[in-house]
Every structure is written in structure tokens, then in C-alpha cells.
Amino acid sequence: ETGVTQSPTHLIKTRGQQVTLRCSSQSGHNTVSWYQQALGQGPQFIFQYYREEENGRGNFPPRFSGLQFPNYSSELNVNALELDDSALYLCASSLSLKGEQFFGPGTRLTVL
């Protein structure tokens, strides 16, 4: 059974650019959640997708958007990057909305 994978591993962007991060959920999982983890902090919930629909959103501006595809993989898009967007972005998949969440290794985004 393949676990949750994320790409790319690391990414460097400049302020104002746009970025797309990708996540492949664990086999059979229909729910994907995205989290942002700033250095020295705990992860903070960005949003969740369930069967291709957004199902809950944390306190993040609209320039953070996402997609979930029919195979339940997911993308996180961030427009107009700011320096404070530098963080580790984690996705987690689960079998159901309230199921145990399995995390991927994360994408380290640096905004210069």
C-alpha cells in the first residue's frame, strides 16, 4: 500500500509569484486536508477536500486555493506569494471525513 506522497520536496519562489503543490493520497482515501507549518510552530489547517468538494477552511486568505481530482489526489495553489508563506506544507489523507489522517512528508516552500 502506497502512503501519502507530495511533490516537490523543496521549492524556492520569489514574492508575488504563484506556486502549485501536489499530493497523492493513500489508496482508497477520499479526503485530503492541507496544513501549513511555519518554523517552530504546529501545523495549521488550510482546508479540506472530500470527494472533490471543499469541506471546511481555516483562517487563510482566498489566494490559497485547492483542487481535488477524481482519483482523490489534490493540489494546493498559492497566488501572490508573500514572505510569510515560507513554511512546510503538509497534506494528509483519510478514509473518511473523521478518519485517522495520514500525513505526507511535506513540501518545504521558501519565498524570497
Partner 1 sequence: SQQGEEDPQALSIQEGENATMNCSYKTSINNLQWYRQNSGRGLVHLILIRSNEREKHSGRLRVTLDTSKKSSSLLITASRAADTASYFCATGETGANNLFFGTGTRLTVIP
User: Is residue 59 close enough to count as binding partner 1 by CB under 8 A?
Assistant: yes
| Cell numbers standing for residue 104 | 505526507
Measure CA of the first residue to CA of the last residue in the chain; give whole Å.
Answer: 37
* 13-16 CB contacts, 8 Å cutoff, 24+ apart: 13/81, 13/109, 13/110, 13/111, 13/112, 14/81, 14/111, 14/112, 15/81, 15/82, 15/83, 15/111, 15/112, 16/80, 16/81
Residue 60 in the binding site for partner 1 (CB under 8 A): no
Closer residue to partner 1 in complex, CB, 39/62: 39
Q: Tell whether residue 106 is a contact of partner 1 (CB under 8 A).
A: yes
Contacts with partner 1, 6-45, as mask; x by CB under 8 A = -------------------------x-x-x-x-x-xxxxx
Positions that interact with partner 1 (CB under 8 A): 4, 31, 33, 35, 37, 39, 41-45, 48, 50, 55-56, 58-59, 88, 90, 92, 97-98, 100-106, 108
